[in-house]
A and B are shown apart, each in its own frame.
Chain A
């Protein structure tokens, strides 16, 4: 089945620790996105990538890093510089068609908790 997978479903981080959230898609989508969702708030864009080996900062990139070495994969690292990492993290992907916005499809999410 085609789709987007995220792992793990729950992740616990200790103080000062970097953790990496996985996102994989087999939809042959060019663009991938990472969002953060806090209770009562909408989705906020952390990073996005429209093509392999290229990515851009979103609205809240501080304390996060990404890589896009393969089309299928877009891992997100939450670094120790992110002081309030507890949130629900969602990965999404879409085709790209020039200036036409295609539908973004979401993975099941990873809930990150700080110990």
Chain B
């Protein structure tokens, strides 16, 4: 299968930095998406990585290492509103425009 693994839960303090990791099987890998999902709402797109390296977008950055089958989402200057589930999703060659999602990492930001 094309397993996507990420931690179930994380807790961090307001104003701090948190890194959410995601690992995937490298065979046939195409690209890696990160989505944010607040409880009871739809996932919203955060980032897409297809090349190795760091993509920065405001307080959020996403990193990809294709050879290691590894990605992370970095959230800086955490705010209470960042409390949400963060979904890692990968596309694979020959997958027919489908994504395989991880189970999501529930991030709780505390004062």
B89 CB to nearest chain A CB (Å): 8
- Number of A interface residues in the complex (CB < 8 A): 28
Task: Say yes or no: is B91 at the interface (Cβ < 8 Å to chain A).
Answer: yes
Q: Is the CB of A106 within 8 A of B102?
A: no
Q: What total count of A-B pairs have CB within 8 Å?
A: 57
A40, A99, A104, A111: which contacts B99 (Cβ < 8 A)?
Answer: A104
Complex: how many Å from CA A11 to CA B95? Answer: 32
Complex: how many Å from CA A106 to CA B45? Answer: 9
Residues from chain A with a CB closer than 8 A to the CB of B93 are: 99
Q: Is the CB of A101 within 8 A of B42?
A: no
Question: Which chain B residues have a beta carbon within 8 Å of chain A's beta carbons?
Answer: 4, 8, 30-31, 33, 40-45, 48, 87, 89, 91, 93, 95-99, 101-104
Please name the 6 residue pairs, one residue from A and one from B, whose CB atoms are nearest each other, closest first.
A101-B91, A106-B42, A42-B101, A42-B103, A43-B101, A106-B43
